[in-house]
């Protein structure tokens, strides 16, 4: 069963959640713990609208109130699948990455960010289909070798990679599983 590309309709403006020490890629499903007041407001805004939120990594994870300059411009539009309020005041959300996007403008309202974003399309490639197939095969074989050398990766990634034929999705899936630094993943 091949995994198809899904198209997500991105609204003109979308609440933004600055995230620390992680890059969320399209199709990733991941829980996030949200504790900053402004970030919780962004989550609530997203839930009140269409459940879509823009996740962008902070350049400095120690910064409590990041400015637009301290946030990477490339991020991921994600759908909030679930939200649970915790007894300590934080919220736990389960999100699924939907599409890569780039911030075109920031607006700060009540301390939280709302952004305008533009979807980032995977670059058109100059490679022929046989070349793309060979590159995908090489990437998948490299992951097999990484697992064989003892890297702590789920062997299930190989099963998922077998079903993915889109080069951009393969790259995102591999990058999200290698544990690379945020600035390198950007």
Give domain limits for the chain. Answer: 14-119, 129-185
Mean pLDDT taken over the chain: 84
pLDDT digits (tens, 9 = 90+) for 23-76: 898 888 899 999 999 999 999 999 999 999 999 999 998 998 899 999 999 999
Residues 6+ apart with CB under 8 A from 117: 10, 14, 54, 75, 77, 101, 102, 103, 104
Exposed/middle/buried for residue 32 (C-beta within 10 Å: 0-12, 13-18, 19+)? buried
Q: Quick one: how far is CA 103 from the chain centroid?
A: 14
pLDDT, position 180: 63
| Residues above pLDDT 90, as percent of the chain | 47
Q: What fold is seen in the domain 14-119?
A: 2.30.130
């Amino acid at each position: 069963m091949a995994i198809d590309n899904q198209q997500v309709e991105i609204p003109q403006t979308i609440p933004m959640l600055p995230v620390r020490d992680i890059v969320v890629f399209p199709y990733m499903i991941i829980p996030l713990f949200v504790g900053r007041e402004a970030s919780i407001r962004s989550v609530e805004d997203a839930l009140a609208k269409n459940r879509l939120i823009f996740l962008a990594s902070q350049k400095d994870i120690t910064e409590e109130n990041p400015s637009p300059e301290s946030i990477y411009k490339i991020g991921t539009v994600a759908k909030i699948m679930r939200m649970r309020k915790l007894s300590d005041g934080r919220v736990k959300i389960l999100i699924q990455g939907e599409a890569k996007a780039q911030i075109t403008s920031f607006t700060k309202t009540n301390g939280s960010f709302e952004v305008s974003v533009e979807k980032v399309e995977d670059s058109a490639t100059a490679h022929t289909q046989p070349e793309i197939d060979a590159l995908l095969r090489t990437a998948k074989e490299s992951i097999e070798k990484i697992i064989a050398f003892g890297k702590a990766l789920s062997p299930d990634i190989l099963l998922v990679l077998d079903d993915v034929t889109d080069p951009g999705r393969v790259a995102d899936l591999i990058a999200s599983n290698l544990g690379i630094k945020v600035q390198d993943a950007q």
